[in-house]
Structure 1
Amino acid sequence: MESRPKLHYPNGRGRMESIRWALAAAGVEFDEEFLETRDQLQNLQNGECLLHKSLPILEIIGLRIGENGFSNNFLDTHLGFRLYGNYLTKIDMYVEGTLDLLEMIIMHPFLKPDDKEKDVVGMTQKAILRYFPVFEKILRDHGQTFLVGNQLSLADVILLQTILALEELVPNILASFTYLQEYSVKISNIPTIKKFLAPGSKKKPPPDDVYVKTVYTVFAPL
């Protein structure tokens, strides 16, 4: 690889955090350029190298790929990921399902204060009644460490990201899911992921008011 990937996004989690997780889990070092103004975003969108006009933007091999062009298969091909294996369809299915829940977590900081408590209750119910039972059953039935096959996949990375983000809001959310508790510990201790979870890494903290304000500034209408 000629150069390290470069990420363009406000200094916070959002939809970029999953890309950070994936890169880190694959052991790929990356750089970041944090967007703080609407002009910075406009300059990127006006650039000739940008394939799409939306964030997050991943800059790699001379291209700037916006959210609509972000492809796990693309990353797998160009970064030499070992996050897929031979079960692409099943992994994609698990990833897409988990992203539905993760999207709710991403949008939570932007809700009005009066709506946040209700939103946490809604996320908790969906996680406990719809999403977590599926993954609990998968892990119980096949008795393996990973969701698919015998190696780490993007499905594991996105699920762990979602679990840990939910635990920040609801610390005991895995109380009824023994297999997911064990799974979370095992995946968290994979060396590349453990490094990413350690203090001082490029993993972003929970969104605060500064991050929310910055996002509104960057995405302000022209």
Structure 2
Amino acid sequence: MELYGVFTNVIPLLLLLKICFIETIRASRAEYVTCGTILKLMNTELKLRLHSHDIKYGSGSGQQSVTAVEITDDHNSHWAVRSISGETCKRGAPIKCNTNIRLQHVATKKNLHSHYFTSPLSGNQEVSCYGDDNGEGDSGDNWTVVCNNDYWRRDSPVKFRHVDTSAFLAGSGRTFGRPINGQGEIVGVSSQYGPYSDWLAKEGLFVHPSDNMLPHHAAIHTEL
């Protein structure tokens, strides 16, 4: 009887481990960024990840600052892909190029934001985080995913164009001193051909799409 009890406990655990292993293998072939995905965004030229934290700018808007960091395992570099306010996107649906989205900072629940304030180091357009505890802000939180494919692919750089001001999300190449010593300045620039304006999807949780959401050539998978 004791041996039977051991087997009845172990078999479900082995099945769970097998399922997790299969999903991990399938995840390595993930192609698209989807609605509900939580990810890190790396600037392809600077090799820095988009970052925020509960530290406010000392000038400009005084809102929560947005920077870029080299470290890969900082939880303050996670962003959730969401629909813009008043619209919905189905969880797991691949994001089409030229779609308007919000990027919500996971740790503070505020949205990536821009406006006509001046950035503190380079004098470009300021980028901040804005919104309440439910992630609700205003139209300054909306960004268009600009890419050359039909969908936002994980293996291809994209640009983010601010809907209200038409500025492109970019690094300036400058770094802050205290209290965020060494972190890179993030700004809005007027031209998509300017330096430091390409972003690549990196580490994250890529939400599982369903069959009817995908292009005919896509696989179904998740990644953590």
Q: Is TM more than 0.5 here? A: no
- Larger fraction in strand: 2
Q: Which has the larger radius of gyration?
A: 2
